[in-house]
Amino acid sequence: MASPPPYGRVWNFSAGPSVLPVSVLEEVQRDLLNYGGTGMSVMEMSHRSKDYDKIITGAEATLRRVLDIPSNYSVLFMQGGGTGEFAAAYLNLFASKAVREKQRQLGRPLSCDYLVTGTWSKGGMKEVRRLGGHPRVVFDGVGEASYTGVPPVNEWRLGKPEETAFVYYCDNETVHGVELPPDAVVDAVDPSVPVICDMSSNMLSRPINIGRFGAIIAGAQKNMGPAGVTLVIVRRDLLERDDDSSDAVRNLPSVLDWSYFDSTGSMPHTPPTFTIYVCGLVFKWAEEQGIRELERRREARAKLVYDEIDAHPEFFRGRVDRAYRSRMNLVFNLPTPELEAQFLAEAARRNMVQLKGHRSLGGIRVSLYNAMPQEGAETIVAFMREFYANNR
């Protein structure tokens, strides 16, 4: 097996909060007590200071370069996690000038199209329904709510463009291990309808054509930094309001208001300063690696594990259709729950942790985010081979 990580660390396959680049952690450690000669930690620094302004504006500028974000898109550092953005996406779109005008022309409430590929897209749809919206189910899994892939496009039940406020989907489902191919959804949706995408668990793992989306939301705690920040990249025309006295605006809490955050540089109140600082360091690390190189690494790591799963499908029982298997969260079961418990225990004794599947599904989940080195994937594959040989 490969050498263990430095500093007595383990191979951390957590689905989130996830492993961070060691070089970033080392820089955080060096700056923790005295950031840049200021005599204080970033955790102690005023968010209104010039030093912190450089941190947050630098983080945004770096991310814009890494993802080639067009100038007509705003980048926001929000709180509330992906779950908060379930509500924020719906509330902000229905407060926007463009959607309100379309609704006036229709003469009745617009629908919201939801592609349900697993737990998180289903959660987003439930939130809209709870808030009194009108979600339309484009599809809910394959067959009878089996979250193992995506049905053919000709089976999707997309609404008419003139009746639809937006289309929402989750690009990578961390629980079920389903990931959509690039552009699969935007290719199928009429360009007049904004596409809202949750990219929490595969952001920064491959290039994205940002300009084809209305908005992208992403929790930081998978590929971008610690928990506590949710990134929103939103097309600026969707932030325009025509009537600030409307119910749609008055019912939008300030803490979820994209337009409000945009007007204040993501700081209408004290932001999670330390988390944004760490995210900025991760963005710099990603820029140094290069987004194409990060994509190459993600494919290589995932291929190692999937090749082992495919070599013994009767033992390592993958759940997801090959065309939609996640490169970030690789899920499978073993023949019995007892073998799964044994697998987890033996892996932990060898410093491989956080491999237990989500509580709703069980099984094994190997999460391979950007900061997981190739050696980590090689280590888990070597263990899988040995475990198979001893227990088949």
Active site residue 198: yes
For residues 317 and 114, give the distance between their C-alpha atoms in angstroms, rounded to a whole number: 29
| Pairing label, strands 195-198, 215-219 | parallel
Torsion, Cα of 78, 80, 82, 86 (10° steps): -100
Q: Is 285 a catalytic residue?
A: no
230: nearest Cα among 221, 243, 238: 221
120 is catalytic: yes
- 199: closest CA among 164, 234, 166? 234
Q: CA-CA distance, 380 to 382, in Å (whole number)?
A: 5
Residue 215, token pair as written in the block: 């908005």
Q: How many CB atoms lie within 10 A of CB 332?
A: 23
Q: Are strands 172-173 and 178-179 parallel, antiparallel or unpaired?
A: antiparallel
Task: Tell me if residue 73 falls in helix, strand or coil.
Answer: strand
| Sequence-ordered list of residues with C-beta below 8 angstroms from that of 232, at least 6 positions apart, any chain | 74, 75, 76, 78, 85, 88, 215, 216, 217, 258, 261
Residue partners of 323: CB distance under 8 A and separation at least 6: 149, 181
| Ramachandran area for residue 288 (φ above 0: left; ψ -120 to 50: alpha; else beta) | alpha
**Catalytic residue of the set 11, 120, 258, 285:** 120
Q: Among 222, 258, 284, 356, which one carries the catalytic annotation?
A: 222
Q: Please state, in angstroms and as integers, the Cα–Cα distance from residue 154 to each residue in 184, 216, 220, 228, following that order.
A: 13, 25, 34, 39
Dihedral over alpha carbons 191, 245, 258, 80 (to 10 degrees) = -120
- DSSP alpha helices (H): ranges in the chain? 22-31, 50-67, 81-95, 97-106, 119-130, 247-250, 258-263, 273-289, 291-311, 337-349, 374-391
Annotated active-site residue in 113, 140, 171, 198: 198
Query: Known catalytic residues?
Result: 120, 198, 222
